[in-house]
Amino acid sequence: MIAGQTKISGAVLADNQNRDMLDLLPFPVLAITADASFVWLNHAAETFLDSSRTMLVGSNLNVFFAPDSPIFSLIDRSLSSGRSVSDASVSFYSPRVGARRGDVHLVPVTGADGGVIELIITIHEQTSFRQFEDMNQFKGAALSMSKMTALLSHEIKNPLAGIKGAAQLLQMELPEQSHELSEMIVTEADRITSLLNRIDTFSVDAPLSLDKVNIHEVLDHTVRITSASFGRHLSIERNYDPSLPVLDADRELLVQCFLNLFKNASEATDKTGRLTIRTSYNLARYMAQSATRKLVHLPLQIEIEDNGSGISDEVAAHIFEPFISTKIQGSGLGLAMVASIISDHGGAVALRQVPAGSCFVINLPLSDDINDTSLSDNSAGIGGHG
Sign, Cα dihedral of 313, 315, 320, 325: negative
Whether residues 115 and 194 share a domain: the answer is: no
Whether residues 112 and 185 share a domain: the answer is: no
What distance in Å separates the CA atoms of residue 122 and residue 124, rounded to the nearest whole number?
Answer: 7
At 188 the pLDDT is 80
pLDDT digits (tens, 9 = 90+) for 96-117: 666 666 788 888 887 777 777 8
What distance in Å separates the CA atoms of residue 294 and residue 373, rounded to the nearest whole number?
Answer: 10
Residue 214 · residue 242 · CB < 8 Å: no
Whether residues 224 and 337 share a domain: the answer is: yes
At 90 the pLDDT is 72
Q: Work out the angle at residue 311's Cα, subtended by the Cα atoms of residues 305 and 315, and round it to the nearest 5 degrees.
A: 135
At 290 the pLDDT is 52
At 201 the pLDDT is 57
Whether residues 247 and 357 share a domain: the answer is: yes
| Ordered DSSP codes for 181-235 | HHHHHHHHHHHHHHHHHHHHGGG--PPP--EEE-HHHHHHHHHHHHHHTTTTT-E
**Is 378 a domain residue?**
no
Residues of the chain falling short of pLDDT 70 = 1-19, 89, 91-101, 126-155, 195, 198-206, 288-294, 314, 316-333, 368-386
At 321 the pLDDT is 61
Measured between alpha carbons, how far is residue 178 from residues 169, 181, 307 in Å? Answer: 13, 6, 46
Residue 141 · residue 202 · CB < 8 Å: no
**Is 142 a domain residue?**
yes
**CATH code of 14's domain:** 3.30.450.20
Tell which of 171, 203, 235 closes a domain.
203
Whether residues 186 and 89 share a domain: the answer is: no
pTM score? 0.53
At 342 the pLDDT is 87
Whether residues 185 and 44 share a domain: the answer is: no
Whether residues 241 and 303 share a domain: the answer is: yes
Backbone phi, psi, residue 248, to 5°: -90, 105
Whether residues 110 and 231 share a domain: the answer is: no
**Is 380 a domain residue?**
no
At 279 the pLDDT is 96
Measured between alpha carbons, how far is residue 284 from residues 9, 10, 29, 43, 281 in Å? Answer: 21, 22, 12, 8, 9
**Is 382 a domain residue?**
no
Cβ partners under 8 Å of residue 53, min gap 6: 40, 41, 46
Query: Is residue 160 helix, strand or coil?
Result: helix
At 184 the pLDDT is 81
Whether residues 148 and 11 share a domain: the answer is: no
What distance in Å separates the CA atoms of residue 364 and residue 384, rounded to the nearest whole number?
Answer: 17
Give the helix, strand, coil percentages of the chain, each rounded to 5.
45, 25, 30
Backbone phi, psi, residue 77, to 5°: -65, -45
**Is 379 a domain residue?**
no
What is the per-residue burial (b if ≥16 Cβ within 10 Å, else e) of 207-246? ebebeebebbebbeebbeebeeeebeebeeeeeeeeebee
Whether residues 43 and 57 share a domain: the answer is: yes
At 362 the pLDDT is 93
**Is 383 a domain residue?**
no
**Is 89 a domain residue?**
yes
Residue 202 · residue 340 · CB < 8 Å: yes
**CATH code of 267's domain:** 3.30.565.10
Range(s) of the domain holding residue 366 = 211-373
**Is 386 a domain residue?**
no
Tell which of 107, 125, 143 closes a domain.
125
Whether residues 236 and 254 share a domain: the answer is: yes
Domains: count for the chain: 3
Tell which of 65, 98, 125 closes a domain.
125
Whether residues 276 and 355 share a domain: the answer is: yes
